[in-house]
Each structure stands twice: as structure tokens, then as C-alpha cells.
Chains A and B, each alone.
Chain A
Amino acid sequence: MYLILIIGAAVMVVPFLWMLSTSIMTIGEANAGRLLPRAVRMTCPYVNLPKYSKNTVIGFGVGPVREGEQELPTANYYVEVRLEEQSNQWLFRLVNRKGKPVPIVPAGRPDAPLTDGWQAINPAGGMVDTGRGLTFTFAPAGAYKEADRRSGAARIEYVNCCQYPTDVLEKELADEAEREYTGRPIPEDLSNCRTVGRKIAYFFKEFIGGNYHQAWKTAKFNEYMWNSIRITAITLVGILIVSTLAAYAFGRMNFPGKNLLFTVLLSTMMIPETVVLIPNFLTITGNNPFLPFINWYDNWPALTIPFMAGFFNIFLLRQFFAQIPNELWDAARIDGAGHLRFLIQVVLPLSKAPIMTVTIFAFIGSWNALMWPLIATKAGSDWWPISVGLQNFVSEAGPETHLWMAAATISMLPVLLLYFLAQKQFIEGIATTGLKG
């Protein structure tokens, strides 16, 4: 018995856990299909090769670090060359981005102390090892041009993708994956890889500084989140005002045409969204022949006001309001209270539970709405709620699983937080209305 329940619970929870775990992986780990990110991170140095003149330096590469020396920090480096007039000898030195010379192991003398001065280039060309994790290869001296004084921009970078091209995917797949997913070259020789970062520090760095930050920044999630909060808040207030008033009228007042009106409004619950979609689009764009002054397209009223027109909330509250004993109303009337006062001071405090249910339904509905916001806003709108933002992010970001998962986590976090805080109201509200409906 317990086994079935636990399996069920596992099935329910595993996708969430998988999402969380993938959202803190690197792209390599995510593509390799790991279930958990590495607790200890491997990094490899690699050299990124932006465009550079290949007249003097024909290649850069990753090299070993000489014992006792520091590896070059992650930055851009340039090889400067000049012709010494007297000896007709080509000289070089390594400089950083600011043009400051960087001390390296002298060419051809692996044991000598570091130097940042000019050194001679072998006229036949060949590889020079800096002894600090970077190598570069010179062309034969005949090909040098006077203009290429400062040649090449190489950068050493640490990528966290070591295990993905080699241990998991085969070479072709890795090449494809590389083109498709990162655009970065992947080091072929992984012997220089080493472990850096321990569990906790790595976790926080990646969690806050890594994928979440990237997803949040690239997709303007701060804007979407704020839009969703605003839209949901306006919708909620609107729904609560409109439906408590109407539910009170249906539940506690008598007026001619009550039953007819109730039936007519009730029948709107049957109408699927797809039927009213197009006319509502015409209405908010000012194409409704009777309401030509409405021009809400791509603005907040279009995203909030149509959601206030649900009869379900009225129906739900009415059932509860009608059960409030009449004696209360009689007592209130003797005290001189009108309907509005009775509603605000007596009925509302009594109906916290159903109002909470309506709030939850409205909140989820508004947060989750996709079809209508897609239609009621233009591409790249300033009013995109988080659902549309996520949809757009997913369709534009390419299949970068780790970022998708981070984005999905961001967008479901507020709802899940609320759910864990008010789980009792959520579950019981929905369960009881389910039975009555």
C-alpha cells in the first residue's frame, strides 16, 4: 500500500526535482543527461580565438603550467612583434589587454626565470610555450608584415564542459552539440583539466550567479514578473469587487428577473474560450461596432478586464452567501444597516474561506493565462506577463535545457511559495468546490 503511495508521490515530485537539479547544471551536464550536477566542478583552460591576423602568429593553444608558476588569468592577451633594425631579427613579447608586458618563460629555455622583455623569434617559426597555460605558434619569419605589430587576441577561459564531449557523447555528436548549443570550441585534450570549487561555494555561485542570473537577464524576467504581479493584482481586486457584489445580489436580495438573469449568466460558463477569443480581440482593438472607443490593445486593461467577467466566481460565492442565516440580516437591519454595510461588515468577514478559494482560482488563472495575453499584446510588448515571457524565452533561447529549467523555476516559484504557505486553503477550497460544482 505504502509502496504505491510512495511511487505515486515520487512520480509527482521527480519532474520538479529534475527541474531544480537541471537548473543548476552546466549546459554540458544537462545535455549529457546527468541527473545531478557535479558536486565538485572540473574546469579546463581553453583558448578562444576571435578574429586575428594570421600573418605572424598562426595559432594559439592551451599549454601546461610550469611547476611553481601561476596560470595566466582569464583575459585577453596579445603577441606583439617588432623588427630589430640592426640585427634584422624579429622580436616578440606577450602583453595583456592594456598593453602591459606579461612575464613568461623564455622561449627555448624552459628552466629559466620568467621574463617580460623582448625575445627573439625563431626564423623558422614554431611553437612558443609561455609556461603559464598558453602557447602560440609563429609562422616562418619571411611571411611577416611590418603592419602586424600586435598580432592576435587570445583569451584563456575556463569552461565547465569537460566531461561532456568525451565521456558521454561521441565525437560527431559533440561537434554538432558544440555548434548547436554553445558556439565555443571544446578542448580536445582534457589532460589540463582539474577540479576547482567545492560543494557549497560552487552551489551558491552557480545557483545565484549562474543560470538563474543568465536566464533572468537575457529574458527580461524582472519586467515579466512585475507585469504578472501587477496584472494579477488588478484582476484579483476586480474579480473580488465585481463578484462579491453580484453574488450578494443573487444570494440575498429579491428583484424581478432574478432567475432568468441567473440562468442566462450561468450559461456563459459553458462557452469555450476559443469562441469568444476572436470577438474579444475585435473588441479590445476597437472593432466592436458598439464599443468603438475601446482601444486596449497591448495595454493592461486588455489583460485584466476580460478576466473579471467570469461567472464561476459569482456562482461559488452565491452558494455561500445564500447559506448565511437570515437572523443576521434582520439584526443588522434593526441596527439601521443597509445592504452594502451588511455585506462589508457581516457577510465578508464570515466568508473568508470561499473568498480565499476565489482568490486562489483567480490567481492561478491569471498567472497561468497564455492564449489571451498572446493575442492581446504585440510582439516584444512591455506588458507581457510571465507566461508569455517564458513561452517567448523558450522559443527563442534555443534548446538550452539548463536555462529553460532556471526560467521555469523562476516563473513557478511565486505560485509554489504561495501554495506551501496556504496549502490547506488551496486543497480544501478546490476540493469542496469540486464537489459542489
Chain B
Amino acid sequence: MQNVSSAPRGLFAGRKGRERKEALTAYLFLLPAIVLIFVFGLWPVIHAFYVSLHKWNIKPKGSECIPYWLASAGLGSPEALEQTDCLGLENYVNLLGLQDIQAVIGMIAGLALGAVAYSWWQRSRTEEGPDRKRQVAAGLAAGIGLLLLIWVMPDLLASGEWTYLVTAALLFLAWLIWKGAGHTDSTLRLLLRFLSMVALVSAALYFFFVDFQRMWELGNQDFFRSLIYTVFYSLGTVPVQLSVSLVLAYILFQGVRGQGAFRLLYFMPYIAPSVATAVVFRRIFTLRDTGLMNRLIGLFGIPPQKWLHEAKGVNLIILDLLNQALGTNWAWPDIPDPLNVILSGPSLALVSIIIYNWWVFIGYDTVIYLAGLGGIPHELYEAAEIDGAGRWSLFRNITIPLLSPTTFFLTIIATIGTFKAFNHIFMMKELAARGTVDTASLLIFQTFRADGQFGEATAMAFILFGIILILSQIQNRIGEKLVFYG
């Protein structure tokens, strides 16, 4: 019947023709989206990487990289060699404080090959016995990786950057022990897991005190600071938001009267334009004694603070307050810098922004949790109640596990959100906070907009992108383990 309806001849004739026609229509439908996403979404990534190889101030003054490379290869005009803005990877080297970039890249490639080899080796052990091809490939990859490592080892030793390998080895060790613990019985497992945690912590400490120390001294400290502030911001917002909103959603879900009204109000901060609400909070967190926040803490007997104008770390301020309250005179110890930045905690200005962030997102998280709670089958609760489970036990053993997909989703959204956050921080930024609220996005924006350093800014953006990718990978892995789907 279908054959009858279509015209018998032409390009679009017959079954094949109809498929062809559908494909063509589909491409036509997709054309605007593809063009737009390509021009403004995909191409920029390539272009950004190219820009990050340059020392561009507003516009390239000398020649760009491509003419320069062509000229160095003997193609094109030799004038391009004379004056050039092409820096290669220097922006990355300067930002991260690396010394021998080739050796480091070689090392990373070697380690990555090792990881690939390991995963191939794992996958080669199928149920029908070992897969020879995969094993050979894995062996090859491991061999090349090892060769690469050996090849770059003298350079790494010379530049002192071999220490990255120690961190990597400790991490690997931690992971191996954790994996091995899964096959043993329970007491040994507990012990092994503990050991694995010890290895993980020592990897982190080693990285911080040896590797990061060197990167800090050689690299761009503003950039590292901004990364630390971003981490503070993430850690300060995500856990608090999620736990508070879980409690709120749980209470709301008990069939409270006026649920709709509460939901309406809770959601309002998220809906209101963040640029405008940030303006409001900028005045709430004012340094005046009569500001709303200062009055609020005044109720608890805390002296007025400078809030958004305060560049001091929050731990220092707590120490000051303790000194005042107890009449003591403890001084903050004199710690060298990267450690001091971390130990003194986020500045009070950043804490203010974190509080703002709670205010905005708690309502959003609550609404999403409510939707998640609505998806839990009621029979489960009934069955558990018949078995005599208490309220806490219901919450602990049914609600939390069954909500884990929602929690996982919210964690990812919130973490990535904090890494991308711009609007409200930009609006709430006071000069007196002296850059202690400049998270990575703000620093990138400033480097680009105020300083006109296109190359440096894109290099920073790429490093941030890399961190986001790694983080979401880690979260995915953990998520696979912990999230309980239905």
C-alpha cells in the first residue's frame, strides 16, 4: 500500500527514496541547530585552545601561531618568524608553574597509557577465557607507557618534577588496596580499607606539600588562589544546601497543609533574577553596624562584622572573637603561604556569598527532592511500618537510599554550578575584599576583560574545564557505586 502512494520515479521514489527524503528533511530540520551549536558551541573550543597558545593583548600584534609554524617549517613567508605572539604552551607552564613541560606531558601520557592498558587487561578477562587480542594491545600500551616514562625520567629528575610520580603511585596504591579489600572477609576488609584511606590521605598530603608547593612558587598564585576559593565555595555550599533541603522536603512531604504555598515561597529565590537578589544581599551584608546581618548576629552577642568588605579568613575572625570573648591573646601562627590560605579558611566576604548561595538554592533543591520523594512507592513504607520500623529508621533505610539518584543529580548540578558561578559573585564583589571572592570564573573574566590577556584567560579556562571534567568523572564513578537505582 505504501508503494502505491508514492510516485514511482525520481530521486525520492520507492522505499529507498522515501528514506532518502526523510533523511534530507531531518537534516534540513537540524540545520539551524547544527550551524548555531557549531559556530557558538563547538568551534569556540578549538579556537579557544588556539588562542591560549598566544600572548594576545586585545589583538595580535605580531604573527599568529599558524603562520609562525609554517614559516619555521620552511613554508610561507619568513617574515612571520621575526615578530611573533605565538607562545606555544607557555601560558599553561606559567599558570601551573611547571618547569619541563615536555617531560610532564610525556609523564602524563605514559601514566594515561598505563591506565588504558590496565582497563584493557581487565576487559580481556571475559567469561570465555582470556581475549588474546586485547591482552596484546594492553601489553603494547603498557610497554609504550613504560618506555615513555623511562624516556622522560632523566628530564623529570633534572627538573625535580619526578615528585608527581610519587603522588600518582600513592593514589594507585590506595586504589589497589581498596579493590583488593573487596575480595576478603569483613575484618580484613575493614583493615585494608583503612590502609587504603591512609594511602589516599598521604597522597593528598604529599601532593600538597611537595608538588603543589613547587607549583605555587613557580606558577600564577592568583590563579591557584582562585582555584582554592572555588573549592571553598563548593565545599561551603553543596553539603549544607543538600542536607537542609532534604530535611525541608521530608517535612513538606508528610502531607503538611499549605504545601503548595511553602513550595511557592521556597522557590522564589531561585526564580528571581540573581543579579537583582545579589544587589539586595550586598546591602544586607553591609559593613554598617545597622545592616541587617550585623543586627542579626548582634542578637547573639557577636560584634558587627565587615562581611563583604572583609578580606580576612574566617578562621582568623573566629580566633579574634574568641580572644575578645575569653580575654585571651592568642595570635594566628605564622604559616607559609599555600597552607595559610587554606588554613585561614574562606574570607568572610566569600562566606557571605556562600550564605547567599544557600538562600538561592535551598528552595530549588527542596523542590527537586519533593519530586524525588513523590517517586518513592508508598508500599515500601507501609511494609516497613508493618515490620515495626520507626520513623528514623524509615528515613534512614528507605528515604535516603531511594533518593540517592536525586542527591547524585543535585550534587553534580550544584558542584558544576559553583565552578561556573559568576553573576552573583560579580555583583556582590567589593573592592575591600581584595580579590578573596575571585573564584576561577571571575578571575578568567577579569584577565580577559580588564587586563585584555586573551591567551592567559583562555589557558585558565581550559585548565578549569579540565578540572570540571575530572571532577564529573570522579563523581560519576562514585555515583555508580553509591547510587541505588530503584
B-binding residues in A (CB < 8 A): 1-2, 4-5, 8-9, 11-13, 15-16, 18-19, 22, 31-33, 168, 241-243, 245-246, 248-250, 253-256, 258, 261, 264-265, 268, 270-283, 287-288, 291, 305-306, 308-309, 311, 314, 338-340, 364, 367-368, 370-371, 374-375, 387, 390-391, 394, 399, 401, 404-405, 407-409, 411-412, 415-416, 419, 423, 426-427, 430-432, 434-435, 437
Contacts and interface: CB of A to CB of B under 8 A. Distances in A.
B37 A253 contact: no
A415 B272 contact: yes
B45 interface: yes
Contacts of A427: 263-264, 267, 367
B280 A275 contact: no
Given A309-B36, A370-B422, A426-B267, A407 B41 contact: no
Interface of B is mostly: helix
Nearest to B271: A419
Interface residues of B, number: 95
B260 to A, nearest CB: 9
A268 B368 contact: no
A13 B462 contact: no
B252 A5 contact: yes
B272 A371 contact: no
A374 to B, nearest CB: 7
B321 interface: no
B461 A272 contact: yes
A390 B26 CA distance: 43
A340 B28 CA distance: 11
B62 interface: no
Contacts of B292: 18, 33
A260 to B, nearest CB: 12
28 contacts: A5-B262, A15-B269, A15-B277, A18-B284, A242-B36, A245-B30, A245-B32, A245-B33, A248-B29, A249-B29, A249-B30, A253-B23, A255-B22, A268-B41, A273-B422, A274-B441, A277-B445, A278-B448, A279-B43, A283-B47, A287-B59, A288-B43, A311-B41, A370-B426, A394-B427, A405-B279, A415-B273, A423-B267
B117 interface: no
B30 A426 contact: no
A371 B445 contact: yes
Interface in B20-51: 22-23, 25-27, 29-30, 32-34, 36-37, 39-45, 47-48, 51
B285 to A, nearest CB: 11
A275 B271 contact: no
B276 interface: yes
B283 interface: yes
B363 interface: yes
Give the 7 A-B CB pairs with smallest separation, nearest first: A33-B290, A279-B44, A246-B33, A279-B47, A255-B23, A276-B44, A309-B36
A5 B256 CA distance: 10
B48 A276 contact: yes
